[in-house]
Structures are given as C-alpha cells and as structure tokens.
A and B are shown apart, each in its own frame.
Chain A
Amino acid sequence: DQQVKQNSPSLSVQEGRISILNCDYTNSMFDYFLWYKKYPAEGPTFLISISSIKDKNEDGRFTVFLNKSAKHLSLHIVPSQPGDSAVYFCAARKEYGNKLVFGAGTILRVKS
C-alpha cells in the first residue's frame, strides 16, 4: 500500500528554468511533509518541510506547496542549477509520529 506516491520517475530541466516535483499522498492522518535530496552513495539530506497548517513554505530557491484537499504537494526549484541533479524523495509523517513514509523518488537532471 503506497501511501506516498511520486508518479514521475525522472525529470529533465534546463539550467535556469523551474523544476517542479510532485507528490501525492493517500493517508489523511499525515500532517507533516518533508523533501529530501539524495546523491548516489550518500544518505538523504533534508531539504525543506511543511506542516499541514500551512500551504506554502519557502527557503531560498526552494518552495514547497501543499494542497490538503487534493492530498498533493509539490517542490519548486527556481532557478535550477546543475548541482541540483539528484534523487528527490517526498516523505510524510503522522501527528505525534516519528517514522517517515517515503515516496519512490524522482530523479532530477538539470542540463547546462
């Protein structure tokens, strides 16, 4: 039962343009959402998060949008840079929970 889904296995974007990575979830008990970035042979590193009481959170070039009614979130990266090329994982957590439920990831390639 995939509670967190990233339906695009890969995305290719030109340097300087916007990258939009999407994530859908099915469990309405999730109340906190995170994005992680992962390079090959390394562990995931935290990128940005959003609580269910918000619909947007911004940190530099990264913005996460949450649409609770659609159970959908997205990560926007603008402008995209070649160093952003990595696998991006969406993750969700229940209120008062500790464990994260991850999506399968989206490979982002930023071409220079």
Chain B
Amino acid sequence: NAGVMQNPRHLVRRRGQEARLRCSPMKGHSHVYWYRQLPEEGLKFMVYLQKENIIDESGMPKERFSAEFPKEGPSILRIQQVVRGDSAAYFCASSRGDGYTFGSGTRLTVV
C-alpha cells in the first residue's frame, strides 16, 4: 500500500507562470489536506478537500491559488502567475477521517 504520493518533488517556475502540484492520497483515504511550509516556519494549513468538495479553504490566499480533488485522479493544487513569495515546500496529507499521513512534499522554486 503506497503512501501519499506527491509529484513533482521539485518544480521550478519563472515568475508569472503556472504551477500545478499533484497529490495521490493513500488507498481508501477520501480526505486530502494541503499545507505550505515557508523557510524557517512551520507548516501552515491551506485547504481541506473531500472527493469533489472543498470543505475548508480558510488558509488559501484569496487570489491565484485553487485546489480540487476530482472524483477520479489526484488532488491538484494550482498556483497561477507565481511570484517569488510562493517559493516553499507544499505538503499534502490524506486521511480516512482521523490521523494524517503526509507525502514527501513538492518544493516549488520561483525564479
């Protein structure tokens, strides 16, 4: 049973481009969470999704960021028109309702 799979592991984007981060939850897990870790900081909650529904997006920036978890396929965190301040490690976690399992993260670098 594979763990939470995130890809790519590393992503480099120029300012103004779009970044797409993918997360495949553990088998049987229908809850997905996205967290962001800026340098020297802890993980900050961004969004919580269940299949096809956004449950809590209170941590998402109001503009340029969106997330989805379609019926089929991985969850996608999409960042449009990236800026240098978006450079961070983005972690996805999944659960069946309790107890998180985190993926290894995607490190986004905006140049």
Contact = CB atoms under 8 A, between A and B. Distances in A.
B99 interface: yes
Nearest to B3: A43
Contact of B102 (A41, A45, A101): A45
Contact of A98 (B41, B42, B56, B102): B56
B14 interface: no
B66 interface: no
A101 B104 contact: no
Contacts, number: 50
A100 B103 contact: no
B43 A41 contact: no
Contacts of A44: 43, 91, 102
Judged by DSSP, the binding face of B is: strand
Contacts of A4: 42
Interface of B: 4, 6, 31, 33, 35, 40-45, 48, 55-56, 58-59, 91, 93, 95, 99-105
8 contacts: A6-B42, A43-B93, A44-B43, A46-B99, A46-B100, A98-B48, A99-B58, A102-B43
Given A42-B104, A43-B102, A104-B42, 12 more contacts: A6-B42, A36-B102, A43-B91, A43-B103, A44-B91, A46-B99, A46-B101, A98-B48, A100-B45, A100-B100, A102-B35, A104-B41
